[in-house]
Amino acid sequence: MLDSFTATAGDHDITITTITNDVCRVVLTDLGARILELHAPDRDGVLADVVLGRKSYDELPRDPYYFGVTAGRYANRIREGRFEIDGTKHAVTPNEGANHVHGGPRGFDTHVWSTALDPERDSVTFLRRSPDGEEGYPGNLDAHVTYTLDGAALEIRIEAETDRPTLVNLVNHAYFNLAGHDSGTVLEQVLQVDASTYTPVDAELLPTGEILSVAGTPFDFRTETPIGKNIAAVDNAGYDHNWVLDGDGMRQVATLTDPASGRRLTLVTDQPGIQVYAGGYLEGASAKGDLDTYAAFAGVTAEMQTFPDSINHAHFPQRVLRPGETYVNVVRYEFSVV
pLDDT in tens, the chain (338 residues): 999 999 999 999 999 999 999 999 999 999 999 999 999 999 999 999 999 999 999 999 989 999 999 999 999 999 999 999 999 999 999 999 999 999 999 999 999 999 999 999 999 999 999 999 999 999 999 999 999 999 999 999 999 999 999 999 999 999 999 999 999 999 999 999 999 999 999 999 999 999 999 999 999 999 999 999 999 999 888 999 999 999 999 999 999 999 999 999 999 999 999 999 999 999 999 999 999 999 999 999 999 999 999 999 999 999 999 999 999 999 999 999 99
Q: How far apart are CA 55 and CA 87, in angstroms?
A: 45
DSSP symbols for 52-107: ---SSGGGSTT-TT-TT-EE-SB-SEEGGGEEEETTEEEE----BTTBEETT-TT-
The catalytic residues are 173, 303
DSSP symbols for 198-225: EE-B-TTS-B-S--EE-TTSTT--SS-E
Whole-number pLDDT of residue 12:
95
**0.75 exceeded by the pTM?**
yes
Task: Give the CA-trace dihedral at 25, 30, 32, 36, to 10 degrees.
Answer: -20
181: nearest Cα among 59, 330, 48, 323: 48
Whole-number pLDDT of residue 200:
97
User: What long-range pairs does 38-44 form, CB within 8 A, spacing at least 24?
Assistant: 38/154, 38/174, 38/333, 40/152, 40/178, 40/263, 40/265, 40/335, 41/152, 41/263, 41/335, 41/337, 42/261, 42/262, 42/263, 42/337, 43/261, 43/262, 43/263, 43/337, 43/338
Which residues have C-beta within 8 Å of that of residue 335, sequence separation ≥ 6?
A: 23, 24, 40, 41, 152, 153, 263, 264, 265, 266
41 touches 58 (CB < 8 A): no
Whole-number pLDDT of residue 317:
97
Whole-number pLDDT of residue 236:
84
Whole-number pLDDT of residue 192:
98
Please report how many Cα atoms fall inside a 13 Å half-sphere around the Cα of residue 65, on the Cβ side.
30
Q: How far apart are CA 300 and CA 316, in angstroms?
A: 24
